[in-house]
Amino acid sequence: MFFQLLDDDYGFPDPALAEDDGLLAIGGDLSMERLLTAYSNGIFPWFSEGDPILWYSPHERCVIYPEKIKISKSMKKLLANGSFKISVNTAFEQVIVNCATTPRKDQNGTWITNEMQSAYINLHRNGYAHSVEVYLNGKLVGGLYGVKINGVFCGESMFSKVSNASKAALIYLSELNIELIDCQLPNEHLMRMGAEMIDRELYLQILGGQHLPNQG
């Protein structure tokens, strides 16, 4: 079953009560307090324009352990030649807009609504959400953004306007001071780079949560 959230209460039900597809709750808002409570308990919002806010906590989580990330020989060569210039937190708003507007195969529209963009920009301004930017010849051509909770980077979305730009962002992220990259849901691209599935209980142990995180 899933639960209706109260407007004046930032709490969530036990994630173990989520539906088979991970749906746990509906409603609430995207305030900083509610989002931080959600992420600290392994819960994230995912919904489309015009829908109520839906909150998910999958029974299995797609994650990448940074030390296990797979980098192909061709990708190592590409990174070594220095064509891509990569930075952190220099263009968060541009990254999230590109994630929302860059066309994707077999996907119409975006779940990164204007409301979502505003909420995560607010998280970024308060030190909780972060971006990785990839530049080529001075132009932003790829990147990713997410929320950092303790040692876990909860990835939200990535984009790529040239081949391998999002891969470069993910590899760069894996070299930062994080214990785990939470990819939320699996896809072929992530699995080829070393992603694996772990159960919710292990994920929550690594997250070390049930409380509001420190900024980092």
Q: Which residues, 6 or more positions from 163, have their beta carbon under 8 angstroms from its beta carbon?
A: none
Task: Please give the residue range of the domain that contains residue 156.
Answer: 62-207
Coil vs helix vs strand at 74: helix
Whether residue 74 is found in the same domain as residue 50: no
Whether residue 174 is found in the same domain as residue 79: yes
**113 domain residue, yes or no:** yes
Whether residue 142 is found in the same domain as residue 77: yes
Whether residue 88 is found in the same domain as residue 114: yes
Instruction: Kindly report the pTM of this predicted structure.
Output: 0.91
Q: What is the pLDDT along the chain (216 residues), one digit of tens a residue?
A: 779 998 889 999 999 999 999 999 999 999 999 999 999 999 999 988 888 999 999 999 999 999 999 999 999 999 999 999 999 999 999 999 999 998 766 555 468 999 999 999 999 999 999 999 999 999 999 999 999 999 999 999 999 999 999 999 999 999 999 999 999 888 898 999 999 999 999 999 999 844 333 444
Whether residue 69 is found in the same domain as residue 121: yes
What is the number of structural domains in the chain? 2
Whether 74 contacts 116, CB under 8 Å: no
Whether residue 109 is found in the same domain as residue 200: yes
Q: Tell me, what CATH number does 153's domain have? A: 3.40.630.70
Whether residue 53 is found in the same domain as residue 93: no
